[in-house]
Chains A and B, each alone.
Chain A
Amino acid sequence: MTRRAGFIDLVLGIVTVLTFLCLYAPLAAVSALSFFQLVRLRGVMSFAPFSLEPYARLWVNDDILSALATTCFIGVVATALALVLGVLFAFYFVTARRSLGLLMQGLIFLPFLLPPIITGLALLIFFRQLDITRGILTIVVGHVVFIVPIVYRTVLVRLQILGKSLTEASLDLGASRWQTLWLVILPQLRPALIAGGLLAFSMSFDETLITLFLAGSESTLPIRLWGMMRVGFVPEINALATLILVFAAGITLAVGFMQQRAGNRAL
């Protein structure tokens, strides 16, 4: 057995390492270029010595910084709305008749399962028919529609683990429904809300394909980058990208470790 297993693991290992390199090469390249800029010396490309200049230039690039601020604002608002709605929908699923719960769940999962281009243009046409002009509001709605499923899912899994006994005990002991909700259930949901909220924010922060349809004159960072990419990038983009990557890695790792500690399989 060992010899055979050793061969299989060897093949799997080689594929895994190569895949890993392909996945991380683009990320590594961006980070490397933010510290060592490419320069052309007498027609030959070479790396400039280590410098933090792109980071300094990023700090004074108002165009990028304002897009960054808009993106964060939209992310925070969309995440807050998604948290409220995710909890509502999860409660609805565990309390309503099964068929109604499944209908609601099927609908809110749709934007997650369909290609983003469909969600984006559907909302674009919908807003146009309602005579709502594109702007921050339409972007927020688009993001909420896209990130609600992730919050809903994390909260629902947690609710189902909790079961009914806590609620019943609380009601038996004389707490009102609101007291049960605020003092018993919601504190138990906190890890799910934090994890779901962080994931939702990072998805909103990165959302591009839906936002492209819904952004008016106000645009988010990915849309601004997309626009800049067509004319060519400035070095500070590499610095910005590196910072975003570190930030996203931090969020994802934090959520991952939290979920693992809670023994909570949300995904």
Chain B
Amino acid sequence: MARAAAARQRPNALGGALGFVWLILTIGPIYYVVVTSLKSQADYYSSNPLGIPSNPTLRAYRTVLQNDFLRYFFNSLLVAVVTVVVVVAISLMASYVIVRRSSAIARLSQRVFLLGIAIPIQATIVPVYYLIVQLGLYDTLPALMLPGIAFAIPITVLILVNYLRDIPAELYDSMHADGASDWRIFLSLVLPLSKPAITTVAIYDALNCWNGFLFPLILTQSENVRTLPLSLWSYQGEFNSDIPAVLAAIVLSCLPILAAYIVGRRQLVAGLTAGFGK
């Protein structure tokens, strides 16, 4: 039915044109970054910025890799993995309670989490800085994980609650009737059933964490705890006239995510659309 209806329609010329223009706007800047990162410094100043490099070179990439790129990479990875695992675990527990309990406290908690989405919570950065300093965590990786976890909770809970609502109450009830404990229900019912939603929020939180700039900028200062977005920022200062190297650093910092995207694109897009589109 749907197919037949679609076939009857004329091709969407306006949509196609807009889609094409947007495509160029999307890949244009990306193309520029990749092309420029393959140029020599001299080439950068003399050649057409959008032209293909006459002598492509990986020099810029070597420069970046020799400047502690891998260390920043592993810092980012560690922060992202810890943050995402903790956020998803505790948010799923909270969502389970919110969906299954109708008590005033559960309802209030849900509203409090919602508040976290409605207000620009980055505005609380000054007291967060104060707290981190007081806890003696300034300039450490946990300084990035703790507030990162807290700030990711609202949207994670929101998506998980939306998803868990669709699990039929009878499933919980029958497990409960069989004498299963809360934890047992959580581990053998809620956890496996919410896998698609977990994938979505994990991806979303990981992207945010991986790309985060404000926390690292404010809560760390040493090189040995620097994360990727901040490293791009500092490379820009260090290599001040070596633009190809700065852009190579950008390409390198995107590669892991790009690789993950290529492998899991379907799941990623499906997850994000299902998670937010409801």
Note whether A and B form a binding pair: no
Chain A positions near chain B (C-beta within 8 angstroms): none
